[in-house]
Amino acid sequence: MAVISEIKRRSPSKGDLFPDLDPANLAQQYERGGAACLSVLTDEDWFGGSVADLQAARSAVEIPALRKDFTVHPHDVLDARIMGADCVLLIAAALSDVELGELHSLAIELGLDVLVEIHDESELERALAVDASLIGVNQRDLVTFEVDTERAVRMAPLMPPGVVRVAESGVGDADDVRVLGEAGYHAVLVGETLVKHGDPEQGVAELRAGFSA
């Protein structure tokens, strides 16, 4: 079980979360708290992120970093590799079947891990069709921004053995983590809860405690 800790300045649904964060310092706090991986927003228009945020965070720690952005073109995958990311996000809802397959294959060829984000059964089928081995269930609706905290639990039994399961959005405390762990998830990706915690190191540690509760 793992905590993927997100470096996130703002969001379209909540506005500013931590606009003045220091990505290197925050990454180090996450690592000290026991985070297994970083998720760093590089989208500037919607999330206030940047390539500089990812590079500063990644260079400050030993743990790997996911580039969290709207990856829709082969150049985006190449850019992720060039900027030093270890993993790239592919959102199934934003890509056609052909695009999903091509971008997934390119990322693997470049030595990147790939987190394929899904929301429902049909998107799960599409992710499995491209041999995705790392699948994230986003509990936030991309259109309404509403969070369905039961979505990940419903989707977990549908994922075959061998798939690393990640629950995204709507994770607020150790109790949420415990429920998701019992449902069969291997990791949670957490942003807002941690950047607003006040003590990010302690925030990660509290979430990790849910795995053993």
Q: Which residues are catalytic?
A: 6, 8, 68, 117, 138, 168-169
Contacts of 77 (CB under 8 A, 6+ apart): 71, 88, 103, 106, 107, 110, 112
What SS3 state is found at 197?
A: coil
For residue 96, the tally of other CB atoms under 10 A from its CB is 10
Phi, psi of 58 (to 5 degrees): -65, -35
- Beta-strand (E) ranges in the chain? 2-7, 10-11, 15-16, 37-41, 65-68, 87-91, 113-118, 134-138, 164-168, 187-190
| Contact status, residue 63 vs residue 38, Cβ threshold 8 Å | yes
Sign of CA dihedral 110, 60, 212, 169: negative
